Chain A
Amino acid sequence: MLNLLRSDLPADASTEAIARALAALTPSDLVRLKRLAQLRARLLPGLEWDELLNEALLRALDGSRRWPEGVPLLAFLAGIMRSLVDSRAEERRRLAERTLAGIEARVTASPEAQLHARQCLAAITQFFAGDPDVLALITELARQYLGDANKPIPRLSQKRRDAARKRLARAILRGQLDGFLP
């Protein structure tokens, strides 16, 4: 794994460093970058992963996003993609709110996004139905992001947890999950 870290550079030198780091990505990094884009694009129905990745790379190269010191390149690019998707989701949410203004609804996500999310969650559950350890791991990790990590969930031993993490990573990196999601 290439773990290039940015040194403290001015803006133009930073984009030069990004260009050099991109050119030096290993095949393993490139696969991970593709899967990161595919995962993130799944948050918005209709968004193409290659369009998202292309936009993120352009933002990194045109200097509009600075590469923070100490952040690995892939994490930096994943952050740009997250930001791009969040902006688009916010636009869609506002549009949905304007559409539903007559019934005074507070919309957290567009109805289309809610339906898509339910379908994706169902697909993940079905995909890993035969591997409860992976499902438990996903649940545990997701709860950390939701801030409700204290709720009781099945705890895995470190050994089973590591093994589940490997199986999950392989399923994602081989593109199996992407082909299974709606």
Chain B
Amino acid sequence: MTEFRDNPDAAERWRATIEALEAVVLAHCEPEPDHDTAAAAEEIRRLIMVLLAGWRRSPLPAAWVRRAGIVLPPAADSEPAAEPKEQKWDRPPPPRPGWRE
């Protein structure tokens, strides 16, 4: 390790060390985590559950989801949408008749 530390390109050496440690973690099979690591497992489980809940609400791949700001042209045979018959509550009320002498 001393020569690793003294090598001028420490970043490459550190990267190789990370790869080595990662390989050890991936290959290590321990049946169950002990008391010290149970909290770490629970933390990751919560993170995954939150992500999965969001994903199940919208399981479409990101590339399929229409993003804000992208306006698609109308289809050639589309008809103009009919005005809804219900009263529109967001319109201002008609002006009151003015006072006349």
Contacts and interface: CB of A to CB of B under 8 A. Distances in A.
Pick the most buried of A19, A25, A27: most chain B CB atoms within 10 A of its CB.
Answer: A27
Main secondary structure on chain A at its contact with chain B? helix
A121 interface: yes
A68 B83 CA distance: 51
Nearest to B34: A174
Interface string A33-57: 1111001101100000010011001
Interface string A101-122: 0000000110001101110111
Interface residues of A, number: 67
B24 to A, nearest CB: 5
Contacts of B38: 27
Interface in A131-150: 135, 138-139, 141-146
A175 B21 CA distance: 13
B56 A19 contact: yes
Interface in B49-92: 49, 51-52, 55-56, 59, 61-63
Given A61-B55, A145-B16, A172 B40 contact: no
Interface of B: 1-2, 4-5, 9-34, 36-38, 40-45, 47-49, 51-52, 55-56, 59, 61-63
Given A12-B59, A117-B10, A169-B25, 20 more contacts: A19-B56, A22-B51, A28-B29, A31-B37, A31-B40, A58-B51, A63-B62, A64-B63, A75-B26, A109-B12, A113-B11, A124-B1, A138-B17, A141-B19, A141-B24, A142-B4, A142-B17, A142-B19, A168-B24, A177-B21
